[in-house]
Amino acid sequence: MLKGSCNCGAVRYQVTGPAQGPSLCHCGQCRKQSGHVWSSAYVPDTALTITQDQGLKWYASSDAAKRGFCGICGSFLFWKMNSEDSTSFSLGSIDGPTGTTVEKHIFVADKGDYYVISDDLSQH
């Protein structure tokens, strides 16, 4: 089981089961929301339990998806496609080791011009 939290602790969650599809997203929305590239993995909604939601806010970033963050400290924690029964969580918000290694870059066509991708992971 993994445990995650925001920077101030007003949002806490637990993940059971393997984290799937660990990736780095370069899209403009993820860069805006996180300040840079967003690292995440996803699990079925049944494997995600939010244990402290005092600070949790959801931002509808489009008609299709929403982004969960802490309204107190600003940590960007979740991304959820409304039509899918899974949720992505930020690997940076996990407390302690994640036991996961990022496998790929996504939305590379939207990446910023201020950095280079210098690893050998696949790019989509």
Near Zn ion by CB under 5 A: residue from 12, 23, 41, 55:
55
C-alpha separations of 43 from 13, 55, 73, 108 in Å: 12, 22, 24, 23
How many amino acids of this chain bind Zn ion (CB under 5 A)?
A: 7
- Any contact of residue 65 with Zn ion (CB under 5 A)? no
Strands 65-70 and 104-106, by their bridges, are unpaired
> How far is residue 15's CA from residue 30's CA, in Å, rounded to a whole number?
21
Within 9-48, the residues that bind Zn ion by CB under 5 A are 10
What are the structure tokens assigned to 123, written together? 């790019």
- Any contact of residue 50 with Zn ion (CB under 5 A)? no
- Any contact of residue 77 with Zn ion (CB under 5 A)? no
C-alpha separations of 23 from 35, 51, 63, 71 in Å: 16, 25, 23, 25
Q: Which residue stretch of 22-30, 45-53, 67-75, 103-111 sits at the interface with Zn ion (rule: CB under 5 A)?
A: 67-75
Near Zn ion by CB under 5 A: residue from 47, 70, 94, 106:
70
Residue ranges binding Zn ion (CB under 5 A)? 6, 8, 10, 55, 70, 72-73
